[in-house]
Amino acid sequence: MNKKTVRDIDLSGKRVLVRVDLNVPLDEGTGAISDDTRVRAVLPTIRYLIDRKARVILCSHLGRPEGKVVDELRLAPVARRLSEILGSPVEMAMDCIGPQVEEAVGRLKEGEVLLLENLRFHPEEEKNDPGFAQALARLADIYINDAFGTAHRIHASTVGVAEHLPAVAGFLMEKEIDIMDKALNDPVRPFAAIIGGAKISSKIGVLEYILERVDSLLIAGGMGSTFLKALKLDVGQSSIDKDKVGLAQWLMEKAAKKGAHLLLPSDVVVADRYAPNARTKTVPITGVPSGWYVMDIGPQTIELFAAKLRKCKTIIWNGPVGVFEFPKFSKGTQAIANLLAGLDATTIIGGGSTAEVIEEMGLVDKITHVSTGGGASLKFLEGKTLPGVAVLQDKESR
């Protein structure tokens, strides 16, 4: 990554504003954090700053309060969890800007940590309001963006504040960018991508960009039905992007001309209704019953995909290959996850619901990299420059 990081700047005694992604799931009953993966992901940067006697000011959003104060979306549970993990107190501010917050920052000693209240309690955050960005900037001497998961957003805390302070990347941001950039532009081959999820329309840019780089492209999930429709196959009641059938046909033709292997399901699990307890059966893709729904890939497809993936040295996966939230239709997604966890290859999970699967199955430690950003990962896989990265200071050319 050709951007400055925390290693490239003097931190001692400085007030350092760190944009982190602490948008963690909370238990509805207790309000406790049910998965602290994102909290742990930013620990290397926080500890580095503490060790260098910086005055650490963390800022994040949580949920979608839509510019209003929502008590259930306060960050106090995150402050408590951070305190437990760090073994030292993390103070919680009453707001994220204003005189009281400035006073709290002024009381910070070297090596101490303050967490600001939910940025999105203020509508100005998502509007990238200049005044709000300036108010955040007044709290600090240096800005660090370690929130890859929000780097695709043009918000005050991701873009606006960087116009007022020296801005560099944290370790998580650096790791995310470097790993995915190498996979896309200098992969160990053979290189494959598995693209799933509900709709082709949300991943057009990914499909077009990644097709130029991979040796094999495996397509399944809801979007797979659109490709099957492009082959004139009946997909029953399955949801398809009707206006993208021609695009699917064009992508298949493009793959053939390029010499890339584009694999689609050969058999599927279908259901008589879109429900967790629906009646099911496994059929070849030429035998989807009228009125039924394609819900998962079948055993032949699992083996077809596995045979291709076992030969690969770099694999990116974004999007489940079935309706994994229904246990009856999660077998395909789980099979792919278990396969990748056992391969001697660079394996990258592109965030979002695919990352949730890996985390739920306890396979995070067996995957090379599980991205913390769903939307940001998609933009990166499209070859787009992320606004929250673009505003960071470039490294000096030598």
Catalytic positions, please? 38, 199, 352, 375
Q: What is the dihedral of CA 140, 21, 50, 14, to 10 degrees?
A: -10
Alpha carbon separation from 272 to 81, 167, 222 (Å, rounded): 45, 54, 16
Q: Enumerate residues 6+ apart whose C-beta is below 8 A from 192.
A: 214, 215, 216, 217, 218, 308, 309, 312, 314, 315, 316
Q: How far is CA 181 from CA 14, 300, 363, in A?
A: 31, 33, 23
Phi-psi region for residue 197, left (φ > 0), alpha (ψ -120 to 50) or beta? left
Give which of 130, 101, 134 is closest to 118, Cα–Cα.
101
Which tokens in the block code for residue 384? 């787009």
What is the b/e burial string over 164-174, where b = at least 16 CB atoms within 10 angstroms of the residue's CB?
ebbbbbbbbbb
Residue 137 in tokens = 């900037």
Give the residue from 22, 152, 34 showing the smallest Cα distance to 96: 22
What are the helix and strand counts (H, E) for the chain? 15, 15
Q: Would you call the peptide bond into 327 cis, given omega within 30 degrees of 0 as the criterion?
A: no
Among 31, 8, 148, which Cα is nearest to 78's? Answer: 31
Residue 295: helix, strand or coil by DSSP?
A: strand
Q: Label each residue of 361-385 as H, E or C.
A: CCCHHHCCEECCCHHHHHHHHCCCC
Residue with tokens 């470039």: 394
- Rounded to whole angstroms, how far apart are CA atoms 19 and 16? 10
